[in-house]
Chain A
Amino acid sequence: MTATPEIGLELPQRFATYPNSFGRFDEMFASPLNPRSHWSMLFGELTKTSAGNIRERQLSAERQLRESGVTYNVYADPKGIDRPWELDVLPLIIAPSEWREIESGIIQRATLFNRILADLYGDQSLLKSSVIPASLIFGQSGFVPAAHGMAVPGGIHLHVYAADLARSPDGHWWVMADRTQSPSGAGYALENRLVVSRTFPSLFRDLRVQHLAQFFATLRNSLMHFAPKGDGPTLTVLLTPGPYNETYFEHTLLSRYLGFPLVEGGDLTVRSGKVWLKTLGGLKRVHAILRRQDDGYCDPLELRTDSALGVAGMTECARRGSVLLANAIGSGLLESDALLGFLPRLCEQLMGEPLRLPSIATWWCGEEAALTDALNHVERVVFKSADPAYSFAPIFGQDLDEAKLAKLKARLSARPERFVAQEMVRVSQAPVLGHSGSEHISAQGIGLRVFAVFSPSGYVVMPGGLTRVASSTDMRVLAMQRGGSSKDTWVLSDRPVDSSFTLLRNTVTSTDLVRSRAGVPSRIAENLFWLGRYQERCDDEARLLREALIQRLQEGEDDDNATTPLLALAKAFGIIDEEEDPYAALLSAATLENKANGLPANLRSLERIAFTLRDRMSLDYLRTLNGLIKNPAFGRAASLSKTLNWLDYTVTNMTTLSGFSLDAMTRDDGWRFLSIGRRLERLDFQCMALQIAIDRAPDTGLSWLLRLSDSIVTYQSRYLAQPEWLPVLDLLVLDGANPRSIVFQAKGITGYALKMKEQYGPFGFESFADAVRSLENITPLDLHPENQSLRETIDRLRTEAFALNDHLTQHFFNHAHSSAQATIGI
């Protein structure tokens, strides 16, 4: 299809299914097919461009999102833990004058909320004078007594704030909900912007859309500004609950964009009333924490004692003011809808002015008059939980039959304080592209999340936001968790826009220094180390299983006598028990997940570790690993030939994974730990194989050992003869050019260890170094199976490799991996 210049021809068709707004506000059209002035350029673009072209842009946007790995995790979601982020490329456009009203309303509201928090966690005069009912606050799970009287830096409880806005049929914006604890979405708004500005580049420029970068710079600089100082350069970290959190992608994005190291509770520790980051180079003082962990989970000592997440003692640090928390502990209190009805009066009292951006009419049922009112207008309201910690799906009065209504009334009269009644809003609609394949432009209900941050000159609002699109199933519910989509939000400017400012450029230069100055967190180093070990272990195991099963296939046909040593090696590897039928054990180790030490179990461990590192791993690495785990052969018993195919496939893919860690990672300390892990694991495996081969000499041939060690090709190209002990041992022990030889591993480990010793001081590496020296004393004369010093050297290297693993753990990882436990003494 080609572009049609005559609007009249295609236009009605393109918008044929565009829904009449039926009592809703339509963002784009003032009347059918008559766009509002600030939408006319986009409307023009839509009519000038062919449907195929628009669709192509949407697909390209989706591809970009997939490629940058943008996800939104939803627990128990059929699309799995990594659901792609959904974006409709048509932006929501907001005119400059309209935005000024929203902006001033948000500033006022954030200022008001900060004052309310300061009062509720301070004098509590609002409660004493009954402006807010004491029972409302004391009954909220969001009220944190331990947060009372904290010396919050600069008197700021609320550093970051977000409000969910919706537009009613008369065109006014209302606040549907407030986010005061750790608002999410700003990072997704940024990602949407990066994609959509590329989708409509000229429109974006011509419309003078305001840029977002300055907002993030303000966030970064303000946290630095208000943070307490001392013990080295000011360090701000982003505290995440971890990769299983639904917005983890956003945490990684913001961490990179703002230059704040991404940490989990286990990375931080409290000493002398201050918070510190555990790094390879020792403890680094943390001055500010942008937290994405909820109030209750910040400190297992003082807050939720049933959770071992968080940082023990952090509350005390916050109380002393030695660390800035954005937002302060306890700020989640204001997320309760029960407070909304009290805001107009609070605003008059605390700010001396009327509330500019009102909340949707909300009644806390804990007040008798409000309850009666709500019950009299059941069909016009929606009932929600008054306490975010006990939330339930909203109950729409209009949906209730008599029986359900009676049940609701009984619940309401029993515990009225647990409910709020909220007026139902017919939210506005905005244009969306039809589902892929459709040429039509349709419309859906939308809501807008806007963000503010406190700066030295007061609150600053992000000129834009995250537009959320209702899922087509229920236009009344706006929730990403329920399968909604999102949009970029274009706030237009009536002045020229300065587009030169971008944080992206800064992050590659100056902010990078911030990251390296903070050092690699110990937990990351430990996970990388184990990633290296498990990657190698899976590779070794797949080769071993393949070799042992092929042997079984060829039994009696070769004169290698390889069965005995291979089964011995499989036993040493922990795959075969004494009582088991060896053949069955090998088959199940290759395919079955519940087989201890089996290949699938080890691949799972590898996957788990890779997942905890997913902000450091390339997407291709994760994809390749995922391909192995999702392979039909994984976890299913299969015939010998199918099993061998699966093992071939695994070996090939493990080689690909090693390639990623070789080629796609920066040579920093983290990479060195990964490499040491791999080499230690391979050293152990090769030593083990050699020990067994030597033990079984001279009854065994040596081809199996060469194949297992991936060295058969080298051998054959060099010697063109049946394997013999001297050249085989030379290749596998002393040949520094063979990446499978023992000396290759030992020297590699020595190289990395020396580098680390140089940087961090001694860590118990000396006895391993001694063992390596005795390996270097081995001469070709020692290379036969009966030689005692060869045997001793191999034994010793294995022992020292174990010891080195312990030294690394003790010295660098400390107790990063052991989990905290709560104790209670009565």
Chain B
Amino acid sequence: MAEQVTYRVSHETRYDYSRPVLTSHQLAHLAPRQTAWQRLRTHQVKIDPEPRDCSAGKDYFGNSVLSFALDMSHETLTVLAESIVEVDSQVLNQTEASVNWEVAASRPLTGTTDLEVELYRTCSPMVPFLEEARLYAKPSFQPMRPWLDAMIELTRRIRSDFVYDPKATTVTTRVEDVLKNRRGVCQDFAHLMISCLRSLGMPARYVSGYVLNLAPAGATPLVGADASHAWVAGHCPGLGWVAFDPTNGKLANLEFVTLGWGREFSDVTPLRGVVLGSAAQALTVAVRVESL
């Protein structure tokens, strides 16, 4: 596999409103994040109708945010984000790969508290500590088992125990219900895995982004291609943050473009808004990821 891939990503969101919208405030997490393994070459967002007030900044989690407002009557809103991104293959440190999971689950007792890690160890509004999630994860986390092994196993178990079913859940479905019904989409599986890990005392963050459909002819394509995707990053001392995709049951590596991360979906919702005037809206999302 190549060491580095360059992607062109386009992500179009379109709202059709049932009645004209008079004012609209929107918040976008649509710019791929600069990281040690990912560089953003070009990025632009086209908004139609053109907003009056537009400002870019960083959120608490270090992601780029674009906020804009419209105060003219409009019946559709289109937001098109286009980026060119270079992604490096991430090599795991083999000597650290055998660190036990208990190390990841305990807070360092001395030294400065690493807030970048602790922020993701506690529960968050949509991802509570959950006894059921802990019990589900526990078999993979036997005493003294290497963290990486256990994580990969949990990732695969979620893939095989749960059915990918876009009709089963919504953006507000609770982890308890996903666990009970064994159905959902990438967001649900990510929340579930985060709940499993945090309930065992380990830090985990929600990663929003895209996955390339790299499947060779004849093979099953990865689930979540052609849409925005979500997966999980876990933290282990020595290894740092490692990303896992429970929807596809694998490590998230070269085929994944990272937009940003937070404690859960609501921290990095691609496009979130409040509109005044419309009664109902139809949402269409189109994502295209191609390697150059």
List residues of chain A with CB under 8 Å of any chain B CB. Answer: 124, 127-130, 134-135, 138-139, 141, 145-146, 148-149, 269-273, 300-302, 305-306, 308, 312-313, 316, 319, 414-415, 814-815, 818-826
Bound Cα distance A139, B228 (Å):
28
Question: Which chain A residue lies CB-closest to B134?
Answer: A414
With contacts A271-B53, A301-B272, A815-B22 taken as known, whether A821 is within 8 angstroms of B267 at the C-beta atoms is: no
14 further interface pairs, Cβ-Cβ under 8 Å (given A272-B52, A815-B23, A821-B275): A127-B118, A129-B112, A134-B115, A134-B122, A135-B107, A135-B122, A138-B118, A269-B23, A312-B23, A312-B25, A415-B129, A823-B272, A825-B272, A826-B187
Bound together, the chains give a CA A215 to CA B59 distance in angstroms of 38
- List the 3 shortest-distance A-B pairs measured between CB atoms, nearest first: A825-B271, A145-B60, A139-B122
* C-alpha gap A670/B156 in the complex (Å): 65
Asked whether B276 is an interface residue with its Cβ less than 8 Å from the other chain, the reply is: yes
Contact A305 B272 (CB under 8 A): yes
- Asked whether any CB of chain A lies closer than 8 Å to the CB of B71, the reply is yes
Tell me the minimal C-beta distance from B114 to chain A in angstroms. Answer: 8
Assuming the contacts A272-B53, A823-B281, A824-B272, asked whether A149 and B60 have C-beta atoms less than 8 A apart, the reply is yes
Q: Which of B228, B271, B274 has the most CB of A within 10 A?
A: B274
Question: Within the assembled complex, what's the spacing in Å between the Cα atoms of A815 and B71?
Answer: 12
Known: A129-B113, A270-B25. A823 touches B274 (CB 8 A): yes
- Per-residue contact bits, chain B 190-213, to A (CB 8 Å; 1 contact, 0 not): 000000000000000000000000
Query: A312 vs B22: C-alpha distance in the bound complex, in angstroms?
Result: 13
Chain B residues 66-101 with CB under 8 Å of chain A are: 67, 69, 71, 79
Cα A623 to Cα B278 with chains together (Å): 37
CB pair A301 B119 closer than 8 Å: no
Q: A313 to B69, Cβ gap below 8 A?
A: yes
Task: Determine how close the nearest CB of chain B comes to the CB of A594; give it in whole angstroms.
Answer: 25
Residue in B23, B270, B283 whose Cβ sees the most chain A Cβ within 10 Å: B23
Can you give 6 A-B contacts (C-beta < 8 A)?
A: A128-B113, A134-B122, A308-B274, A818-B277, A820-B275, A825-B269
With a CB–CB cut-off of 8 A, which chain B residues contact A149? Answer: 60
0/1 string, B22-39, CB within 8 A of A gives 1: 110111000000000000
Q: Which of B60, B79, B107, B115 contacts A146 (CB 8 A)?
A: B60
A338 to B15 Cα, complex, angstroms: 44
A305–B272 Cα distance when bound, in Å, is 9
Encode contact with A along B107-127: 1 for CB under 8 Å, 0 otherwise: 100001101001101110100
Alpha-carbon distance A141/B126, docked complex (angstroms): 11
Complex contact B275–A302 (CB within 8 A): no
- Inter-chain CA distance A135–B22, complex, in Å, is 42
In the bound complex, CA of A376 to CA of B203 (Å): 32
Task: Give chain A residues whose Cβ lies under 8 Å from the Cβ of B26.
Answer: 301
A130 to B172 Cα, complex, angstroms: 34
CA distance A818 to B283 in the complex (A): 21
Chain A residues, CB < 8 A from B227 = 826
Min C-beta distance of B269 to chain A, whole Å: 6
Q: Which residues of B contact A818 (CB under 8 A)?
A: 22, 276-277
With a cutoff of 8 Å between Cβ atoms, the chain A residues found around residue B22 in the complex are 814-815, 818
Instruction: List the B side residues contacting A415 at CB < 8 Å.
Output: 129
- B-side interface residues, number (CB < 8 Å): 50
- Nearest-neighbour CB distance to chain A for B87, whole angstroms, equals 22
Is B215 in contact with chain A by the CB < 8 A criterion? no
B120's closest neighbor in chain A, by CB?
Answer: A138
Bound complex: CA of A127 vs CA of B112, how far in Å? 9
Q: Which residue of B lies closest to A134 (CB)?
A: B118
Please tell me if B238 contacts chain A, counting CB pairs below 8 Å: no
Encode contact with A along B155-184: 1 for CB under 8 Å, 0 otherwise.
Answer: 000000000000000011000000000000
Shortest distance from the beta carbon of A342 to any chain B beta carbon, whole Å: 14
Does B285 interact with chain A (Cβ within 8 Å)?
Answer: yes
Residues of A within 8 A of B48 (CB): none
Which B residues touch A414, using CB under 8 A?
A: 131
Contacts of A139 in B (CB 8 A): 122-123
Chain A contact surface mostly: loop
Cα separation A820 to B272 with both chains bound (whole Å): 13
List A contacts of B122 (CB < 8 A).
Answer: 134-135, 138-139
Tell me, rounded to whole Å, the shortest Cβ–Cβ distance linking B177 to chain A: 16
A118 vs B2: C-alpha distance when bound (angstroms): 47
Which A residue's beta carbon lies closest to that of B107?
A135
Q: Identify which of A127, A146, A815, A819 contacts B113 (C-beta below 8 A).
A: A127
Contact of A301 among B27, B52, B118, B278 (CB under 8 A): B27
| B123-A815 in contact (CB<8A) | no
Cβ contact within 8 Å between A302 and B27 = yes
Query: Is B25's CB under 8 angstroms from A313's CB?
Result: yes
Q: Could you tell me the distance between the alpha carbons of A538 and B23 in the complex, rounded to whole angstroms?
A: 35
Q: Collect the chain A residues with CB atoms within 8 Å of residue B57's CB.
A: 319
A138 / chain B contacts, CB cutoff of 8 Å = 118-119, 121-122
A822 and B274: CB pair below 8 A? yes
B121 touches A822 (CB 8 A): no
CA distance A273 to B56 in the complex (A): 12
CB distance from B59 to the nearest CB of A (A): 7
Contact assessment for A825 and B121 in the assembled complex, using a CB-CB cutoff below 8 Å: no
A820 to B281, CA, bound (A): 13
Q: How far is the CA of A129 from the CA of B69 in the complex (A)?
A: 40
Report Cα–Cα, A134/B114, bound state, in Å: 9
A148 to B57, CA, bound (A): 13
CA distance A550 to B275 in the complex (A): 51
Q: What is the CA–CA distance of A823 and B267 in the complex, to the nearest angstrom?
A: 15
Q: Which of A124, A135, A141, A821 has the most CB of B within 10 A?
A: A821
Contact A826 B121 (CB under 8 A): no
Residues of A within 8 A of B131 (CB): 414
- Bound together, the chains give a CA A269 to CA B274 distance in angstroms of 12
Q: Which residues of B contact A148 (CB under 8 A)?
A: 60
User: Which one of B15, B23, B67 contacts A823 once the chains associate, using CB atoms below 8 Å?
Assistant: B15
What is the CB-to-nearest-CB distance from A818 to chain B, in angstroms, rounded to a whole number? 6
Task: Provide the bound-state CA to CA distance between A269 and B276, in Å.
Answer: 11
Given contacts A269-B23, A316-B67, contact A824 B112 (CB under 8 A): no
Q: Are A821 and B278 in contact (CB under 8 A)?
A: yes
Q: Which residues of A contact B121 (CB under 8 A)?
A: 135, 138
Which of A145, A273, A300, A313 is in CB contact (< 8 Å) with B267? A145
A129 and B122 CA atoms in complex are apart in Å by 18
Find chain A residues with CB under 8 A from B129 CB.
415
Q: Is the CB of B171 within 8 A of A824?
A: yes
Residues of chain B contacted by A273 (CB below 8 angstroms): 53, 55
Q: A135 contacts which chain B residues (CB < 8 A)? A: 107, 118, 121-122
A821 engages B112 (CB within 8 Å): no
Give the residues in chain A near B15, CB-CB below 8 Å. 823, 825
A734–B112 Cα distance when bound, in Å, is: 87
Q: How far is the CA of A141 from the CA of B172 in the complex (A)?
A: 17
Assuming the contacts A135-B121, A820-B275, A825-B270, asked whether A271 and B285 have C-beta atoms less than 8 A apart, the reply is no
Residues of A within 8 A of B269 (CB): 824-826
Docked complex Cα distance between A819 and B266 (Å): 22
Separation of A359 and B113 alpha carbons in the complex (Å): 27
User: Could you tell me the distance between the alpha carbons of A66 and B27 in the complex, rounded to whole angstroms?
Assistant: 47
CB distance from A258 to the nearest CB of B (A): 29
Does B273 touch A at the CB level, under 8 Å?
Answer: yes
What residues of chain A lie closer than 8 Å to B115, measured between beta carbons? 124, 127-128, 134
Question: Are A825 and B13 within 8 A (Cβ)?
Answer: yes
Knowing A139-B123, A301-B25, A313-B69, say if A815 contacts B276 (CB, 8 Å): yes
- Residues of B within 8 Å of A270, CB to CB, are 25, 69
**Which residues of B sit under 8 angstroms from A822, Cβ to Cβ?**
272-274
- Chain B residues whose C-beta falls within 8 Å of the C-beta of A141 in the assembled complex: 125
Residue numbers in A under 8 Å from B59 (CB-CB) = 145-146
Report the minimum CB–CB distance from B69 to chain A (whole Å). 6
A301 touches B274 (CB 8 A): yes
A825 touches B285 (CB 8 A): yes
Q: Which of B25, B57, B121 has the most CB of A within 10 A?
A: B25
Residues on the A chain within 8 Å of B25, using CB: 270, 301, 312-313
Give the CA-CA distance A414 to B134 in the complex, in Å.
11
**List of A residues within 8 angstroms of B228 by Cβ:** 826
B275 and A823 contact, CB distance less than 8 A? yes
